[in-house]
Structure 1
Amino acid sequence: MNVIDLIKCLADESRLNCLKLIMLRGEQSVGDLTQTLNLPQPRVSRHLAQLRLQKVLLDRRQGQWVYYGLHPELPRWAKDLIQTAVTPLKLDIENEKYQDDTELCLL
Structure 2
Amino acid sequence: MATVELLPIEDVSACCAPLASAPLDAAGAESLARTLKAIADPARLRIISIVAAHGGTETCACDLQEPLGLSQPTVSHHTKVLVEAGILSREKRGTWAYYSLVPGALDTVAGLLTSATR
Scaled by the length of structure 2, the TM-score of the pair is: 0.61
44, 58, 62: which one aligns with 1:27: 58
**1:65-80 equivalence runs, <5 A:** 65-72=96-103, 74=105, 76-78=107-109, 80=110
Q: CA RMSD in A?
A: 2.3
Shift of 1:29: 1.9
Percent of residue pairs identical: 29
Shift of 1:62: 2.0
- Cα distance in 2 between the residues matched to 1:3 and 1:21: 22
- Cα distance in 2 between the residues matched to 1:58 and 1:42: 18
Shift of 1:73: 5.4
Gaps of 5+ in 1: 85-107
- Cα distance in 1 between the residues matched to 2:43 and 2:106: 22
Scaled by the length of structure 1, the TM-score of the pair is: 0.66
18, 23, 46: which one aligns with 1:17: 46
Query: For residues 22-44 of structure 1, what are the alpha-carbon distances to aligned partners after superposition, in whole Å with 9 as ceiling and x for unaligned?
Result: 00014212211002222111111
* Runs of 4+ with >3 A deviation: none
Query: For residues 5-26 of structure 1, what are the alpha-carbon distances to aligned partners after superposition, in whole Å with 9 as ceiling and x for unaligned?
Result: 1111111000000000000014
- Cα distance in 2 between the residues matched to 1:5 and 1:65: 27
Query: For residues 34-55 of structure 1, what are the alpha-carbon distances to aligned partners after superposition, in whole Å with 9 as ceiling and x for unaligned?
Result: 0222211111100000000111
SS in 1 for 2:105: coil
Single out whichever of 66-75 and 13-22 deviates more from structure 2: 66-75
Q: Which has the higher helix share?
A: 1
The one-letter code matched in structure 2 to 1:21 is: I
The one-letter code matched in structure 2 to 1:60 is: E
- Cα distance in 2 between the residues matched to 1:38 and 1:21: 13
